[in-house]
Amino acid sequence: MTRFRDRYQEIYSLLSRAELQRGSEGIAELSLGPDLFGEETEKFLGFYTTDGLQVALRKYGFFRDLERLGFLDFHIELQTDDPDEHMLRLFSRNPDLSTPLVELVVHRSFLKPQDTLASRLSQTHIPVLTVDWLILQNPNAFFTPRRPPLPGQNHPGLGVGAQVLELLRNICFRLQLGGIVTIPSYFHNALFYSEEFLHFDPRQQGIFLGMCRDLMPQAQNSVAAASWALHWKMVKNRQDDQPVSWFQDLMVNPIGDSLNEYFQAPEYRAEVQEGLTAGEFELFGEPLRQNLRRRGIHPFDPDRIQEWLPHSA
C-alpha cells in the first residue's frame, strides 16, 4: 500500500459526481437522457469531464506535487473520439512546455482468460481498467549519475508514480472495476509496479522474481543496468545457456474480491514457486559495461547521452 492511499481514499469519498462532471450538461438533461447507464463518448472513460479532472487533481494535491517541481499552471488535453482508447495529456503552462508531463492511454475492458487459469476465477469476465501507455516525465530535468536514462525514457521521471497509481485505483472504485491491468514494456516498469501489481500468470511472476533475485545484485542494484541488459538481450539463463530478453506479460493490481482471491490462492503461490526455479540468470558483464560506457550511462557522460537518446526508441 502506498503512503498516499489513506489520504486519497478520504478525498475520493468527498468528491461528488457533480464535481467530476463539471461543465457537462445540466442534471435534468443528464437524468432524462437515453444513455444514463451507458458511456458518454465526450467524457474521459465515459465519466470524467476536463473540468472535473482539473477539480479532482487539485483536490487530491496532485497539482501541488507538480508545483514543488517548478510547474505552476496546468492544462489537460483529452482525446476520447476512439471508444477503444482514451488519452489524457497534462501540460505545463508555466513554464510553457510543448512536451506533456503526463501522457496516459487507457480503456475499460474485461479480463477474460481462456486457458486453465480462467477456471480459478469466480467470474468469467472481470471489468478492468487497462493502462495501455503511461509516461510521467520532467522535460526540464536532466539525467544524473544517480538517475541515468532507463529504456524508453527521453526525460527523467516526475517521481509521482505512487500518486498516479492511487488515482487509477480510485477510478476503478468510481467505475466499479475489478482491477488495473497493464503489460510492462521493460523490466524496470515491472519492478516499479511490483509493489502493487502481480503477473497474472503465476509462472511468469516466479520468473520475474528470479530475474530480480539474480540480476539486481550482479548489476550492483542498478535498475538502469539490469533493465538495459534485458533490453539489449545481454542476459542468459544458466540452466540452458540461452540468451533471454525481457518478456512482456500481463500484470494486475487487484481491487475486487475475485482478483484478490485469485492471487491469494494456494495454487497461485505454488506455481510462483515453480517459476522461481525455472531460471538462473546471468548478465553478460563485459558487453553490458561496454554498451553502458558507449552510451554515457556508466561512467556518466551527459553529452554522449544526448547524442543517442532521442533516437534510441
Mean pLDDT, the chain, as a whole number? 93
pLDDT surpasses 90 at 5: yes
- Residue bearing the bigger pLDDT, 127 or 84: 127
Neighbours of 82 (CB within 10 A): 11
Predicted local confidence at residue 160, as pLDDT = 98
pLDDT surpasses 80 at 34: no
**Could you give the CA distance from residue 284 to residue 245 in angstroms, rounded to a whole number?**
12
**Could you give the CA distance from residue 283 to residue 226 in angstroms, rounded to a whole number?**
8
The amino acid at 43: K
Encode pLDDT of 192-207 as tens digits: 999 999 999 999 999 9
- pTM higher than 0.85: yes
Predicted local confidence at residue 309, as pLDDT = 79
Helix (H, G, I), strand (E, B), or coil: what is residue 92? strand
Predicted local confidence at residue 40, as pLDDT = 61
pLDDT surpasses 70 at 23: yes
* Least confident window among 111-115, 270-274, 301-305: 111-115
Encode pLDDT of 270-296 as tens digits: 999 999 999 999 999 999 999 999 999
Predicted local confidence at residue 116, as pLDDT = 87
- Does residue 145 have a cis bond before it (omega within 30 degrees)? no
Q: Is 257 exposed, middle or buried (0-12, 13-18, 19+ CB in 10 A)?
A: exposed
For residues 138-147, give the mean pLDDT.
Answer: 96
| Residues whose CB falls within 8 Å of the CB of residue 210, separated by 6 or more in sequence, listed in order | 275, 276, 277, 278, 279, 280, 281
Q: Is 305 exposed, middle or buried (0-12, 13-18, 19+ CB in 10 A)?
A: middle
